[in-house]
Homo-oligomer: A and B are copies of this chain.
């Protein structure tokens, strides 16, 4: 019996989308085209271009920044950061922060300290005027919206979902509470292992694609239609189980509650109030519903602005844009015992709350996390925010956490001393 060796990938330099020539020239060479209709458009290394150009690969709904002047971010570049060293989890040899960027296929990373930019870098296909897919960092944006509505009394966290969305009464969501959806403690029959071609996530992906369905396709055709088909697996409220469909159910709840799409709501409540310098956008399904579970693309510094607002207790540009009690709900964390049942060996003692990952580390950091390494890390002790976009070949944060988590901690410890 032979074991399969772990898949290896070209490194960041060898997979650099500019070097590989994706979509360059008029026209690009036929084997250098990445198009909406490609089956493998998000496969590494095409992904390194695609994740910075989602709007060219799908219809999208805008997340307007509004029309005013962007806020100005101060700039005090800290040259010491590149040389910080740390030992990756499970590793034996220290690496430097600078080395960690390529190791994680970083496309862009900005560090704010006391609201000023102290570190900023772009690579791959991303520039400061570009937008990169945030993947599941989108979930945490939905969490901010939901926690806000709860504090404002517009959304009852204890209401069963069926009371809000009658169409979900017959699904697993029907007798889950809003809070259980928001904290992902629902018991749902749904597998999201990207490496498994038979996982439900691929059925979900086919259902929610805005492209024409294949001849004879009889499955669900939208986010909402799919959500109605989800069966229960176990009991709600017992264990954390990370499933994207919770966020799309939450998106439906948000839309039904407010009469706004999640893209409109994200613009109205956050993007237009943080002094964003760029519009964001969200990919949509075949009936125009934004992908609440992972569809946001945005500018890197605007993602950092969101992090700073969270760090500042919901205040941006001198204005309380998210209730402080909503931010407190996140920092208060979820239940580590329920979280432990999910078996994340790299995240001991963590919890999940309001669609955010709560580290419960010494700095009390909380994190928005997207597959392929998207991160928004808010460290209140270091008064630090890290926003990162990346295009890691491994579609699971276990692929980058051994480097990511000690790296973020190292720069947090460095800045805490400043």
- Chain A residues close to B by CB (< 8 Å): 23, 26-28, 33-37, 55-62, 64, 66-70, 128-129, 131, 210-212, 222, 224, 252, 255-256, 261, 277-279, 281, 284, 286-289
Contact = CB atoms under 8 A, between A and B. Distances in A.
A289 B27 contact: yes
A56 B59 contact: yes
Contact of A212 (B68, B69, B212): B212
A112 to B, nearest CB: 16
B26 A261 contact: yes
Given A26-B261, A26-B289, A28-B287, A37 B70 contact: no
Given A67-B70, A252-B26, A55 B56 contact: no
A200 to B, nearest CB: 21
Nearest to A260: B26
B211 A26 contact: no
A61 B256 CA distance: 31
Contacts of A256: 26
Nearest to A272: B129
Q: 4 closest A-B pairs (Cβ-Cβ)?
A: A26-B255, A69-B69, A67-B277, A64-B129
Q: How many copies does the complex hold?
A: 2
B66 A60 contact: no
Contacts of A56: 59-61, 284, 288
Interface class of chain A by DSSP: loop
A59 B61 contact: no
Given A55-B55, A60-B55, A279-B279, A288 B70 contact: no
A81 B183 CA distance: 56
A386 to B, nearest CB: 20
B69 A286 contact: no
10 contacts: A26-B289, A27-B222, A27-B224, A35-B286, A37-B212, A55-B60, A55-B62, A59-B59, A67-B129, A211-B212
A56 to B, nearest CB: 5
Contacts of A277: 67
A293 to B, nearest CB: 15
Contacts of A288: 23, 28, 33-35, 56
Contacts of A67: 70, 128-129, 277-278
Given A55-B59, A57-B59, 8 more contacts: A26-B255, A26-B261, A36-B59, A56-B61, A68-B70, A69-B69, A211-B211, A211-B212
Contact of A287 (B27, B222, B286): B27
